[in-house]
Amino acid sequence: MAFLMHNSSRCSKGQFFVLSAFAIVAAVFLLSQWIEPYSIPDTSFAVFFEEPFIFNNIKEKAIATVKMSSDCNDLTFNLDEYKKFVGNFVLSKGMNVEFVYKIKDCNTLRTEFNITLKSSTASLKGSFTATK
């Protein structure tokens, strides 16, 4: 009579492999959780600085005001109204604005702008020209 015996070394090799693979995966997972907070840059501070967004919006709308005006008188009126609006808006945000414009050519409505936006955390300044 022959008895078949299980090879215990084969069984323990498989268990060791499974246990080793689990330990390695667990170690890599824990290491990645520990390193992850340092590997992701924190860009949330950019949301708190709204000055660049406001400045760019003022610039874009100034150009749009020039393009939508029909003549020199209309442009002067529109820019005066826009300047008042910008001043009130920026003041409500706790900032100061210097909005200076000069109409250089009434035929093409070429207008030069110098805008300075100041707050307690930033100071932005820009000069540009807009034409119709």
Nearest to 54 by CA among 7, 91, 19, 80: 91
Model pLDDT, residue 49: 80
Contact 63/54 with Cβ under 8 angstroms? no
CA–CA dist 122, 26 (Å, integer): 47
The SS3 call for residue 89 is: helix
pTM above 0.85, yes or no: no
Predicted confidence pLDDT, tens digits, the chain (132 residues): 555 555 555 667 778 888 888 889 988 888 878 777 666 676 766 666 888 999 999 999 999 999 999 999 999 999 999 999 999 999 999 999 999 999 999 999 999 999 999 998 889 999 999 998
Q: Count the Cβ atoms, other than its own, within 10 Å of residue 96.
A: 13
Domains in the chain: ranges and CATH: 50-130 (3.30.1300)
- C-alpha dihedral (85, 91, 92, 94), degrees to nearest 10: 150
pLDDT of residue 32: 79
Give the pLDDT score at 84: 96
55 touches 115 (CB < 8 A): yes
